[in-house]
Chains A and B, each alone.
Chain A
């Protein structure tokens, strides 16, 4: 994106609402900020209509704050809880048909590389477990097989949460939800393993209580996708509304479900990151 899109036309500087002037003056555009700088800059997502204690809201806040170049990033989302939040995001984002996000991201990523050969443009799919692991599973896997150069981040709340609580492929075996009262009959999808097998150069799983780790993973995944190919991060974001725990216990739940972060880096990606993180 041209720098001008984050600059106010001189003729209208006096009538622009304060929120936008702050975004220009104190936002993260072009400043190479990260999670460690949270609190020192105006964030790109500040308000949202998600439930109290929503793990997904925290996850998205941390992911967005970790993007290495938000002014040159396009987020592709899909139907789900995150789709209620993304319209509030002060950066480019596209809502795709349910499950179609990897197809959209493929076209977008390829087109941006042709249109801006000298300026890296990052495409980041951020979607729920239903969008990635169920309804968009085929598109996701095919994009990984083709080694498309974009990052996929799954917000794993283990169910379809804004439609009353149906089980998804990522719901754990035995879990009963409002709309799936007999309990899940088969195990949670092994998406991390599937991503590795499909050829992703960088694969990680983390929970938002490990904020700095998550931030580093997002940065790594985006950098690897920019240069090498598909990357995948799975972020555990428990849902207090459907899993019926107190909103104050979200991080505790997230830690319990994903205590140890997982990180797989291909040899090629390792070399790239060694250079980038010098």
Chain B
């Protein structure tokens, strides 16, 4: 496949899914987002996120250490916004408190680990997931594993430059942007008649 034809879509893609960047997918510029590897205006990506979350059977948020721990006032406020977002779409929340591999095994019902995120997704039958507050290198690792081994749709709300390995990503996500996304979701709920 030509790299220009590659799209970041639901898997399972295979044991070793390629890094999307190696297939020609580039990160969005400020004000933009990515939908399945294609750069779009940020607002369009937000609408797609709303659609995916509101039509999912079991949407689940995976908050990472950057919002789970009270590093500073910004992290605390962002955590509140993430929780409000999850509640607005009726999503479950399964935390990724740190990146330690779990020995002898993880309890996939209550937590997710970047080294084997597929276990949590399989166990809980998650069809759409949202990564937020996960350090970039671990998010990329987990997103690739999920794309490689599951049919879960991945969304990454990134505080930095976005994640090309997610099916939808926003960049520069702070509390204000999470509030905007919440507004988009509330509007979408009215449009589709979801209470």
- A interface, CB within 8 angstroms of B: 2, 4-12, 15-17, 20, 47-49, 87-90
Contact = CB atoms under 8 A, between A and B. Distances in A.
Nearest to A23: B97
A4 B69 contact: yes
B97 A9 contact: no
Nearest to A3: B70
Given A10-B70, A47-B103, 16 more contacts: A2-B72, A4-B70, A4-B75, A5-B70, A7-B69, A10-B76, A11-B82, A12-B67, A12-B68, A12-B83, A15-B95, A16-B95, A17-B95, A17-B107, A17-B110, A47-B104
B15 interface: no
Give the dominant DSSP class at B's interface.
loop
A119 to B, nearest CB: 15
Contact of B97 (A2, A7, A10, A17): A17
Contacts of A20: 97
Interface in B162-181: none
B83 to A, nearest CB: 4
8 contacts: A2-B71, A7-B69, A8-B68, A9-B76, A12-B83, A12-B93, A16-B68, A17-B107
B155 to A, nearest CB: 19
Contact of A12 (B95, B103, B107): B95
B101 A88 contact: yes
B163 to A, nearest CB: 21
B72 A9 contact: no
A15 B93 contact: yes
B95 A5 contact: no
Given A4-B75, A9-B76, A87 B101 contact: yes
Contacts of B76: 9-11
B100 interface: yes
Nearest to B69: A5
Contact of B70 (A8, A17, A88, A89): A8
A51 to B, nearest CB: 14
Contacts of B82: 11
A88 B69 contact: no
Contacts of B95: 12, 15-17
B116 to A, nearest CB: 13
B103 A11 contact: no
B63 interface: yes
Nearest to B61: A15
